[in-house]
Chain A
């Protein structure tokens, strides 16, 4: 049973939180069996995530153990003599999804967490997403600030490699800031009253 504040966020620990959160969103949209949920997750998040069906079964089991999903055997569509395990949301699922939307987890790969949240966000989550996107933008700026500057005079192979690596970091952070700003803008424009 989910009760205290620490208990309520316990399921968000570990590296697979974005996938577990997205699964909660999908369950709230409609129940499904493991294979169905894995397919919907892959379609929603895109190929870069490489969603593994076995992982999805494992994550669903974890969610069930924490009271955020429940499963029961139900007849297969088209073959009523065979059954499969179908996962459903519980009374706590919606509250857990809302909590995840507004929780900034310091140690998770933030972009993945945000992307997973976006994939299953409800209209009422718009304000929470904007807060998360702004925080992410600021975090990227802080990370860019930590990169040591170069004097542009790589005199050795090692120094050149260091400069190329530094360039990669800037390129990545710039892409992230652009993405966060663009996403904010799209959410803002969508939520603006049409004039």
Chain B
């Protein structure tokens, strides 16, 4: 069976001034359809890079990232864009943007813009998605400007779920005001993903934020460790050589 998402020897480097930072070094992993995977890592560990590669927002320097067996690097930017508006939903806490005066339900409904729906149908679906994430009908008609952090997170989730994506990628979604809100959000997320059969890939710098996932991974120093059977760890080549020298 083809995994929904696979990384095969994926490497990614960034430049920090003149210094080259190896963010991912030949990372291989597979995520089956319907699975939930949590990625734990400290700040600047490469979590966001891995998620952006998974969502097709960024491309690997080498290796292959495949969605449903299709190599994202071989797709045109238009194809990747369609994927990101359809089968893949990407949420990053820092990405909250709304138009002034926009109501919550319209904010969610606009994410269905490319589906060819009537406004009435898009609003109906948006209200259903908002109900699934625990937003009341009166809250849904209110302006986005008055939302709390917790409510924003739920609206972002509704905006992603309304399109019924096959893969939901969340980058550091735990920016809640309180721990109880955070736990509620994750319980909601798990339930919604389970109900829709959506594959989850979420990252957090708080391990508690990844509770309830089926596979937990950690990322640090270019390496990904995983609690699951799938996925592999390949040490950085230069480091492998150094370790071999040490062993001699």
Contact = CB atoms under 8 A, between A and B. Distances in A.
Contacts of B97: none
B246 A124 contact: yes
B146 to A, nearest CB: 23
Contact of A138 (B208, B225, B247): B225
B51 to A, nearest CB: 18
B180 A154 contact: yes
B216 interface: yes
A152 interface: yes
Contacts of A57: none
Interface stretch (B62-70, B80-88, B184-192): B184-192
A152 B236 contact: no
A112 interface: no
A147 B183 CA distance: 13
Contacts of A191: 239, 242-243, 245-246
A151 B226 contact: no
A141 B238 contact: no
Interface string A168-181: 00110110011001
Interface in A156-194: 163, 166-167, 170-171, 173-174, 177-178, 181-182, 184-185, 188, 191-193
Nearest to A135: B225
B184 A141 contact: no
A152 B215 CA distance: 21
Contact of B225 (A137, A171, A173): A137
A153 B184 CA distance: 7
Interface string A74-116: 0000000000000000000000000000000000000000000
Contact of B216 (A123, A127, A130, A144): A144
Contacts of A153: 180, 183-184
B216 A188 contact: no
A177 to B, nearest CB: 5
B207 A173 contact: yes
Nearest to B187: A151
A142 interface: yes
Secondary structure of the A contact surface, majority rule: helix
A152 B153 CA distance: 15
Contacts, number: 112
A130 B180 contact: no
A181 B190 CA distance: 28
B196 interface: no
Contacts of A167: 179, 208
Contacts of A154: 180
A192 B239 contact: yes
A127 B247 contact: yes
A141 B227 contact: yes
Interface in B202-248: 206-208, 210-218, 220-221, 223, 225-227, 233, 235-236, 238-239, 242-248
A150 B40 contact: no
B186 A149 contact: yes
Contacts of A126: 243, 246-247
A134 B211 CA distance: 21
Contact of B40 (A141, A151, A182): A141
A188 B239 contact: yes
Interface of A: 123-124, 126-127, 130, 134, 137-138, 141-142, 144-145, 147, 149-154, 163, 166-167, 170-171, 173-174, 177-178, 181-182, 184-185, 188, 191-193
Which 5 A-B pairs have CB atoms at the shortest separation, nearest pair first? A152-B183, A149-B212, A181-B220, A152-B184, A191-B242
Interface of B: 40, 42, 45, 179-187, 190, 206-208, 210-218, 220-221, 223, 225-227, 233, 235-236, 238-239, 242-248
8 contacts: A123-B246, A124-B246, A144-B207, A144-B216, A150-B183, A170-B211, A184-B221, A191-B243
Given A149-B211, A192-B242, 17 more contacts: A141-B40, A141-B225, A141-B226, A144-B210, A147-B211, A149-B212, A150-B211, A152-B181, A174-B40, A181-B45, A181-B220, A184-B220, A184-B223, A185-B220, A188-B236, A192-B238, A193-B242
